[in-house]
Structure 1
Amino acid sequence: MNTLFPIFVKANQLHTLIVGGGYVGLEKATALLGNSPDARVTLVAPEIRAELYELAEQHPLLELVKQPYHSLYLNDKDLVIVGTNDKDVNRQVQVDCKARRILVNVADTPDLCDFYLSSVVKKGDLKIAISTNGKSPTFAKRFREVLEEILPDSLQETLDNLTAIRNQLKGDFVQKMEKLNEITKVLK
């Protein structure tokens, strides 16, 4: 049973640490900055892929630190994502995060994760997060591709129209919700 509680965080109001400068670190940094281009991210690793330097040129709030991980890098961090190929380093980061009560995701190691990174469908302001409870990121990715293909690009216009309607509605919260439910019944 999937007991995860889905949330959307305002990554631009957090300071995220990514540990690992290889392919996984690149993938996580790209996903994070693709969803929140103004996110403040520090990436630390003894070796850093060239693509990460290119990404840092496009995102001035992405700081690359070419050093081995040390717990001092957790200072002032709100969220941590780990993606190294060294299981001992991954475990140490997780232990250090737990001691500081910082939420951590260790790629490909569900038992060490406080949260999982979802596969995300984006259509304008609409975002749909897909989770398989850590069981199959590949399935989540394929399902995301299917949804991206079938959801119309006109969804943003629909959202904008519903926002305009909501802003013009009179009455209390319950009255507004009843009216919006009536209007959106056609979406069933």
Structure 2
Amino acid sequence: MNELFPIYVKLDEIQLLLVGAGPVGLEKLQAIIANSPKANVHVVASRVDADFLEFAEGRSNIRISNRDFEDTDLNNIDLVILATNNESLNQHIRNLTKEQHILLNVADKPSLCDFYLGSVVRKGNLKIGISTNGKSPTIAKRLREFLDELLPEEIDETLALMGELRDSVKGDFKEKVRVLNEHTKEVLGRR
């Protein structure tokens, strides 16, 4: 049973630490920036790949420290993502984050994670997160591809119109929900 609670985090309002700047670190950073272009990311890595540097170049919200991790790197950090293949370092950081109540994700190590990075479908303002509870990132990726093809490009226009309608509907919360539900039935072709 998947007991994960899905949330969407405003990464531009918190501090994120990414440890590791190899291919996996680049994959994580690309996913972060694709979903939250203004995310505040501090990257710590003893080795930084050229592709990683190229991706981060010109992005003032990404700060790279080309050195080994230090315990003080967790100061004022809200969220940590580890993309290292150093098991002892990962476990050390796991222990520190637990003590400091900082949420942690460790690439390819579900047992060390407080949260997972799901596969994401994006169409304008619509964002759908897909989780397999860490069991099969491949299935999540295939579902993302399927939903991406299924959802029309015009969905963002529909969302904008629904936002305007929501703002114009009068009445209490219950009445607004009723009106919006009726309208979405028509929009989505449901009865």
With normalisation by structure 2, the TM-score equals 0.96
Structure 1 position 99, deviation (Å): 1.0
Quote the residue 1:165 is aligned against.
165
Indicate yes or no: 2:74 matched with 1:74.
yes
| Partner AA of 2:97 in structure 1 | C
Per-residue deviation, residues 33-87 of structure 1 (Å, max 9, x unmatched): 1111111100101001112212222421101111111111001100000010111
Quote the residue 1:133 is aligned against.
133
Q: Helix, strand or coil: the match of 2:32?
A: helix
Matches within 5 A, 1:103-118: 103-118=103-118
- Runs of 4+ that moved beyond 6 A: none
Indicate yes or no: 2:9 matched with 1:4.
no
| Partner AA of 2:35 in structure 1 | N
Q: Helix, strand or coil: the match of 2:47?
A: coil
Quote the residue 1:19 is aligned against.
19
Q: Within 2, Cα distance between the matches of 1:58 and 1:7?
A: 29
Q: Within 2, Cα distance between the matches of 1:169 and 1:56?
A: 44
Deviation larger for 47-56 or 123-132: 47-56
Matches within 5 A, 1:1-188: 1-186=1-186, 187=188, 188=190
Gaps of 5+ in 1: none
- 1:79–1:104: 8 Å Cα contact kept in structure 2? yes
The alignment covers a number of residue pairs equal to 188
Per-residue deviation, residues 85-116 of structure 1 (Å, max 9, x unmatched): 11111111111111110000011111100000
| Partner AA of 1:174 in structure 2 | K
Q: Helix, strand or coil: the match of 2:158?
A: helix
Q: Within 1, Cα distance between the matches of 2:139 and 2:174?
A: 39
| Partner AA of 1:63 in structure 2 | R
Q: Helix, strand or coil: the match of 1:77?
A: coil
| Partner AA of 2:162 in structure 1 | L
| Partner AA of 2:176 in structure 1 | K
- 1:40–1:61: 8 Å Cα contact kept in structure 2? yes
With normalisation by structure 1, the TM-score equals 0.97
Deviation larger for 166-175 or 122-131: 166-175
Q: Helix, strand or coil: the match of 1:20?
A: strand
